[in-house]
Amino acid sequence: MELKPDQLARQLQQGTLHPAYLIAGPETLQVLEAADAVRAQARAQGYAEREVFEADGRGFDWSALESTLGAPSLFASRRIIELRLPTAKPGREGAAVISAFCADPPPDVLLLVTGGDWSKRHAGKWSEAIDRIGCVVIAWALRPDQLPAWIEQRLRSRGVSADRDAAQLLCDRVEGNLLAAAQEVDKLALLAGGERVDVARMEALVADAARFDVFRLVDAALNGQPSQVSRMLAGLRAEGLAVPALMGMVVMELQRAAALAQVQARGGNLAVEFRAQRIWESKQAVFRRALQRHGAGRWEQFLAEAGRVDRMAKGRAAGDPWQALERLLLAVSERHALAMLG
């Protein structure tokens, strides 16, 4: 039976632990926290060892995972074997390895599979095998009408008492971004001082996450959200920011994407490159989506175009830097990039 993240949390609080878990979905924060909850309960029940496998391309060695799943522990302790599937698709070979494990799970091994996306197309005999012996947990994207209740529950879980109107204000500020909402709630827990938070106090304590800062602008481009890109860029321009103030972050993120694309093109290990680039786990899915849209050569073209935009902004090249920056970021967010750059 498919569970929601909150249902999994209640089950784990009762001490229930299964041999296998599949946790996937578009809500990155909920996937990460659900996986953390499984790990915490496993550690509490004596799972002292943990091994992580990143199946991030066709070159992944499924036989190594198969051997690890069947091997005895070196230290006679229980083990968590974690399989990260960015696309939530193990392929035929991976599906066979997972199904074989589920057919006869060792008593000292817990298999935790996480994925960055999910739909009916992702499901198969391998996920059904996990469901038979464990849990399938899907973190579906929250609808706008579900976000206020999620924020209210999050506030309560952090010991923050807030009026419903105050919670709605926070909801409006974060615009559906659960990661931003979680950060603001954690900050409120520190700043509220145990006092009940009304609308005025919420306004004073919470940063305006709806301000269109450059971090979220670049994330929107990488995430394939062209309408968000245009709206955020208009907001930044209205706030009086200058293009040169934006280009440092834009170039840095494009350079990271280009480096990742080069690793992917030569069949290298993206997980290693993510660590080398110090890209947080919560943001890796954003880069993976971007890499699915554009190959290594395209990212080099984006970097070259960013250099041209920077020269425009500094008066060293002709053209409107705001218009050129918008074209660049829209090209990053769309598959048909070259046509958009002109």
Output the domain CATH number for residue 163.
Answer: 1.10.8.60
- How many structural domains does the chain have? 3
Domain boundary (116, 138, 160) is at: 138
Angle (nearest 5°) at CA 116 between 118 and 228:
95
Residue 34 has a pLDDT of: 94
Output the domain CATH number for residue 54.
Answer: 3.40.50.300
* Integer Cα distance of 72 and 101 in angstroms: 14
Here the tokens at position 152 are 């209210």
Taking the C-alpha atoms of 251, 252, 258 and 260 in order, what is their torsion angle to the nearest 10 degrees?
A: -160
Strand partners, 21: 112, 135
Domain co-membership, 200 together with 219: no
The one-digit pLDDT tens for each residue of the chain (342 residues) are: 789 999 999 999 998 899 999 999 888 889 989 999 999 999 999 998 889 998 876 678 899 999 998 877 666 578 999 999 888 889 899 999 999 999 999 989 999 999 877 888 888 999 999 999 999 999 998 888 888 899 999 999 889 999 889 999 888 877 777 887 888 888 888 888 788 899 988 888 875 544 446 778 898 899 999 988 998 898 888 878 889 888 888 998 999 999 999 999 998 888 888 888 777 776 788 899 999 999 999 999 999 999 999 999 988 999 999 999 999 999 999 987 655 565
- Which phi-psi region, left, alpha or beta, contains residue 131 (left: φ > 0; alpha: ψ -120 to 50)? alpha
Domain boundary (138, 165, 190) is at: 138
Domain co-membership, 48 together with 151: no
Residue 339 has a pLDDT of: 55
pTM of the model: 0.63
Domain co-membership, 323 together with 264: yes
Full residue range of the structural domain in which residue 92 is found: 2-138
Domain co-membership, 109 together with 228: no
Here the tokens at position 115 are 């994925």
Residue 73 has a pLDDT of: 64
Domain co-membership, 185 together with 251: no
* Residue 201 one-letter amino acid: R
Domain boundary (205, 228, 250) is at: 205
Domain co-membership, 288 together with 260: yes
Residue 21 has a pLDDT of: 97
